[in-house]
Amino acid sequence: MMIKFPQLGPVICVACCAMSAHVAVADWPAESAPPPALEQGGYELVWADEFDVDGAPNPASWSCEHGFVRNRELQWYQPQNASVDEGKLVIQAVRERVENPNYREGSRAWDTQREFAEYTSSSLKTQGMRQWLYGRFVMRAKIPTAPGMWPAFWTLGNGSWPRCGEIDVMEYYRGMILANAAWKGDGWKPKWDAVQAPIDQLGDADWVDQFHVWRMDWTSERIDLYVDERLINSIDVAAADGSGHNRANPFRKPHYLLVNLAVGGINGGDPTDASSPARYEIDYVRVYQVSASGESADR
């Protein structure tokens, strides 16, 4: 979610002045091998938000981003667009005009040259409260797929981007589900390992109206990203060796979680024809770690 590549073609490899990326369209196998079952005792639950208390999201678990944040997106982030209702976290993107208090006449910066935002939404993160090194990260959610909508479930490490590392367990825009990781490439250019999957490959016409389960299995060797038990992308952690702060591997350092609903921006597309409000409904977010493993710890 931090800074994505431009609109993607069916299969594309990019190396340019802004970034380097490998992007591929997912080619689903006839049947994915089942992952290790939680019931087998391989993992234990270390943190979860089941969203079972109506009202504002739990402030002990989540903080909210504010204002214009990234990617030239159209929405103004504010806490009131996220609420828990009947067992679901609901993030709403609303078409409404709000004043930008950071507006500066004549500014050339994207976040201060706009006098108003034309949309509002919410972005929640566990930064400063919870972060984890390795484990299984799971979200069950129903995502908005209207034009211009850009929902995501992702992680960041600590420090400046892209040195901190980024893992996109799920993001959606322009008819595609994406599963990505990014780290520092040459100079300050990000390097991407990204796969996009057209939603018409994922199921029937009712897929967009249903809840689905996104999962990341993250170890010191690999990052495997799934939707509904289908492996979308498998990332070699060693590819990021030496790219992080102090030349560490950012995927061998703790990350925190984010869930957000962006509108428009670099990748989201034109939201003009989308109904308002758009709803991103999250049933739960859970973090599991390997039992009795020295490398997996809640930090």
What is the per-residue DSSP string for 212-253? EEEEEEE-SSEEEEEETTEEEEEEEGGGGTT-SGGG--GGGS
Positions marked catalytic:
166, 171
Neighbours of 291 (CB within 10 A): 10
CA 297/CA 299 separation, integer angstroms: 6
**Helix or strand holding residue 167 (H, E):** strand 166-173
**Which residues have CB under 8 Å from 108's CB, separation 6+?**
none
Measured distance CA(164)–CA(225) in Å, rounded: 19
| DSSP state letter for 57 | -
Write the DSSP symbol of residue 105: T
State how far the Cα of 257 lies from the Cα of 15, in Å rounded to an integer: 28
